[in-house]
Amino acid sequence: MISEKLIKVAMADLNIASNGEVLKTTGLGSCVGLTLFDPAKRIAGMAHVMLPSSSIARETPLNVAKYADTAIPELIERMVALGASIRAMQAKMAGGAQMFTLPGQTDSLRIGPRNVESCLMKLEQYNIPLLSQDTGGNFGRTIEFSSNDGILTIRSVQHGIKEI
């Protein structure tokens, strides 16, 4: 995907794009790259979610982009401030892998699947439909999201390139 302007989204970060800009994040293992898109306004947003819930946060001040339950509302708020409509928003996501499996593993170590579940619950609260996802597995991903057409490009060493 070639664009005049590439906006990088770091781990535990979020950003918005418009006017054909492309959002990109790398290193999605158990993290989830959640994207939102208003097709009428061509406003896109991306959050690189590391953990499912801010209830476990110990940092001060709180990094709202780090947690699914705080990143998604913040992303929506920023997109609305730029002119997007919540009712028009559509979501896509990638990541949420189970990178390591250990014998006797507890639910607390299932970070990838829990990140996916938390993102889905938050989208449901806002009535934002999830159009497609490429989640799970045991491999990392890099994603790019176009504010021009809402196409999410997913790259992985194991599975090549695909668009959703």
> Any idea what the CATH number is for the domain that residue 20 is in?
3.30.1330.200
List the domain range (segments joined by +) for residue 96.
6-163
Q: How many CB atoms lie within 10 A of CB 10?
A: 12
pLDDT in the model for residue 107: 53
Q: Determine, yes or no, domain membership for 71.
A: yes
Q: Are 72 and 122 in contact (CB under 8 A)?
A: yes
Instruction: Calculate ∠ Cα 62-94-60, nearest 5°.
Output: 5
Q: Determine, yes or no, domain membership for 88.
A: yes
Q: Determine, yes or no, domain membership for 1.
A: no
Residue 1 has pLDDT above 50, yes or no: no
pLDDT in the model for residue 3: 44
pLDDT in the model for residue 106: 55
pLDDT in the model for residue 117: 97
Q: How many CB atoms lie within 10 A of CB 18?
A: 17
Residue 2 has pLDDT above 60, yes or no: no
Q: Which residues contact 161 (CB under 8 A, 6 or more apart)?
A: 153, 154, 155
Q: How many CB atoms lie within 10 A of CB 4?
A: 8
pLDDT tens across 62-118, in order?
Answer: 999 999 999 999 999 999 999 999 999 999 999 999 987 666 555 557 899 999 999
Total domains in the chain come to 1
pLDDT tens across 128-163, in order?
Answer: 999 999 999 999 999 999 999 999 999 998 899 999
pLDDT in the model for residue 76: 98
Instruction: Tell me the average pLDDT across 28-45.
Output: 97
Tokens, residue 157: 């060493």
pLDDT in the model for residue 67: 97
Q: Determine, yes or no, domain membership for 112.
A: yes
Catalogue the active-site residues.
Answer: 31
pLDDT in the model for residue 94: 98
